[in-house]
Amino acid sequence: MKFAVINFPGSNCDMDLYYAIRDGIKQTVELVDYRNESLEGFDGVLIPGGFSYGDYLRSGAIAVHAPIVKEIIRFANEGKIVLGICNGFQILTELGLLPGALIQNEKSCFICETVDLKVLNNQTAFTNEYQAGQIINIPVAHGEGRYYCDEKTLEDLKINDQIIFEYQQNINGSVAQIAGVTNKQKNVLGMMPHPERAIEKILGSDDGLKLFQSIINYQVKVNN
């Protein structure tokens, strides 16, 4: 499987993702500049965390006008794997590829710690290696990670099993303690926690590794 890690000005977790793919799950991966206009030949697109364009206006608002974005939308619409982490999640909501929005944390401060997440849906391309209800330890690092949506959207998310990860504590004031959601087709995932920072036990947790292994499992089934 061949992955593209999109690099925007201000991205600072691109290399973490790169090494998670190359060394963690031993797959082919390339850094792709935001000015590129093609993602031909790739099987999955990863949008890293960081502060694209300095988070001016609001997080992800400027990144959605980059040339590569049309290809990310095409990928999503064709049912291919798209994963946005932290700022990548913010970009996916700005694009309308995922419902809701990410706003300033409830306590208006930057949060950087390892937190407990519950896996609510393990029947997706991103979670099939986990057990339903499993508690995993994944780092967070964000100032605008508070997930918000209206009541109708929240109801739809629950009905369609689109809420994938749930904080076990009130980390940032997110609606329903949501840490990650998919689109209805479940080929696009956005999450604020950083699984790419939880690939090896020496880092404190390797619970993020199964997310990337899940993607490989899914792709094998698709190809067969």
Complete DSSP assignment for 67-89: TTHHHHHHHHHTT-EEEEETHHH
The radius of gyration computed from the CA coordinates of the chain, to the nearest angstrom, equals 16
- State the pLDDT confidence band at 21, using cuts at 50, 70 and 90: very high
User: CA 66 → CA 45, 98, 109, distances in Å?
Assistant: 15, 18, 28
Structural tokens at position 33: 């500049």
Q: Sign of the CA dihedral 57, 63, 65, 70?
A: negative
Query: Among this protein's residues, is 86 annotated catalytic?
Result: yes
- pLDDT tens, position by position, 44-97: 999 999 999 888 888 899 999 999 999 999 999 999 999 999 999 999 999 999
Q: What is the average pLDDT score of the chain?
A: 96
Residue 22 is predicted with a pLDDT of: 97
175-190 residue pLDDT tens: 999 999 999 999 999 9
pLDDT of residue 95: 96
Catalytic residue among 13, 71, 86, 149: 86
Q: How many residues does the chain have?
A: 224
Measured CA to CA in angstroms, residue 106 lies from 102, 125, 133 at distances of: 11, 31, 26
Cα-Cα-Cα-Cα torsion 203, 205, 209, 210, nearest 10 degrees, comes to 180
Task: Tell me if residue 194 is catalytic.
Answer: yes
- Given 94, 129, 142, 194, which residue is catalytic? 194
Q: Supply the pTM of this predicted model.
A: 0.96
Considering the candidates 71, 94, 144, 196, report the single residue annotated as catalytic: 196
pLDDT digits (tens, 9 = 90+) for 82-129: 999 999 999 999 999 999 999 999 998 999 999 999 999 999 999 999
Domains of the chain (ranges, CATH numbers)? 2-223 (3.40.50.880)
